[in-house]
Structure 1
Amino acid sequence: MTSPDSTRDRIVAAAQAEFARHGIAGARVDRIAKAARTSKERVYAHFRSKEDLYGFIASQELAAAAEAAHLDPADLPSYAAQLFDYFTAHPDRYRFIAWGRLELAADPRDGAPGPALYRDALLGKIEKLRRAQRAGDLDPTWDPVDIMALVVQITHTWLDQTALAAVAPRTAADPAPSARRAAVIRAVTALFPPARPASTPSA
């Protein structure tokens, strides 16, 4: 059992920050090693490659996001609210995942840890939506792939569109962050109304 401040723990923490800041291609193992107060050789002793290190952390990040935002196909506005809250509170974690989506989407390597993690997470959610449609809890006229794409894109709007996020406090009728959250929930509700009384978390 490792101590809370083990070399491996320091490497993981330093790498998470490095990947969130620079992406996978731009991350440097020497900077990770320096931030972790260790050597490049020790980094490679724990992880075979930079990509393996990213994949290890990505599995943790996806698990944490899934724990924070429960996908209930019968109440997609609630799911959007939970995702919005989680990533707004942890923008570094959003950047980490966003870099992976951007850089690994075109990675065709069989067995590469990153692409498989993101693919499998999405396939699981899409299948959950499909089952909800068969059960009558979700509009069956939508393709589950489109549902997933639209809900995620709406939820991430203010994280992805940084220029708009910067001007919103000065130009929006209601500059409060809660208004942006309410707009996300309203948009998802308009497309996919809950199948039962809403249980959206309060602001």
Structure 2
Amino acid sequence: MPPDATETKRRILDAARREFAEFGLAGARIDRIAEHASANKRSIYVHFGPKEDLFDLIVIDALRTMADAVRFDAGDLPGYAGRLYDHLLAEPSTLRLSTWANLERPSSTDDEGTTYCKKVDELRPRYGDAAVDALVLTLGLVTAWFAASPALTSLAPSDDGAARRSIVVAAVAAAVAAMRSTGAAT
């Protein structure tokens, strides 16, 4: 009977998540993943295939974990924005992985699309044809501070995450209200 590879797989996935979050797909090295996972390169390829497949798996796992951790409520996008902001503050590697995927893998995987389709479907009764717009604006406002240049964010007088969270929630509430007032939301 072959040995159980569960622990080896877990170590590889943990090391791969850190590696891909820091270096992206192009900069990540299987050698470093193997070293940090205390595994050999061959076991990575046997369990997960080529580096691109491992990257896609890591990204979709991060998105699924976030979707499971952050309750989505189509009737309360500002509340969702606050919860999502909190999650990204606690798990910055999720946004880094998603950003790398957008830069290096511009066409989405089926799994990634499914993550968004469910939310858009829940938004349609409230926002109609503007459901995608509502989600894009919400996600954009939530991630704006995290994605801003350090040259800009360093100019902030303080690092008050609670105040920033409040601003994000208020901005999403304003965006939702603007969509309703312009007739974009049904």
Q: CA RMSD in A?
A: 2.0
Q: Aligned runs of 1:108-123 on 2, under 5 Å?
A: 115-123=109-117
Q: Does 1:143 align with 2:130?
A: yes
**1:180 is aligned to 2:164:** yes
Q: Which runs of 5+ in 1 are unaligned?
A: 108-113, 134-138, 194-203
1:87 Cα shift?
A: 0.4
For the residues of structure 1 that align with 2:122 and 2:145, how far apart are their CA atoms?
A: 26
State how many pairs are aligned.
Answer: 174
For normalisation by structure 1, the TM-score amounts to 0.78
Instruction: Provide the rounded CA distance (Å) in 2 between the counterparts of 1:37 and 1:64.
Output: 25
Structure 1 pair 85/38, CA: closer, same or farther in 2 (3 Å)? same
Residue pair 2:74, 2:122 contacting (<8 A) in 1 also: yes
Q: Deviations over 1:118-141 (max 9, x none)?
A: 2221222211111x32xxxxx54x
Displacement of 1:90 in angstroms is 1.1
Aligned residues of 1:20 and 1:96 also touching (Cα < 8 A): yes
- The amino acid across from 1:157 in the alignment is A
User: When you count helix as a share of all residues, which structure comes out higher?
Assistant: 2
Q: In the alignment, which residue of structure 2 is the partner of 1:157?
A: 144
Instruction: Quote the Cα distance in structure 2 between the aligned partners of 1:88 and 1:72.
Output: 20
Residue by residue, what CA displacement relative to the aligned partner does 1:78-104 show, whole Å, maximum 9, x if unpaired? 100011000011112221122112222
Shift of 1:178: 0.9
Structure 2 matches for 1:81-100, cutoff 5 A? Answer: 81-100=82-101
Q: Following the alignment from structure 2 to structure 1, what is the Cα–Cα distance between the partners of residues 147 and 167?
A: 15
Q: Residue 154 of structure 1: CA displacement?
A: 0.2
**Structure 2 length normalisation: TM-score?**
0.85
Alignment of structure 1 residues 182-201 onto 2, 5 Å: 182-193=166-177
5 Å-filtered alignment, 1:18-37, equals 18-37=19-38
| Alignment check: 8 A CA contact 1:72 1:79 kept | yes
Amino acid at match of 1:152: L
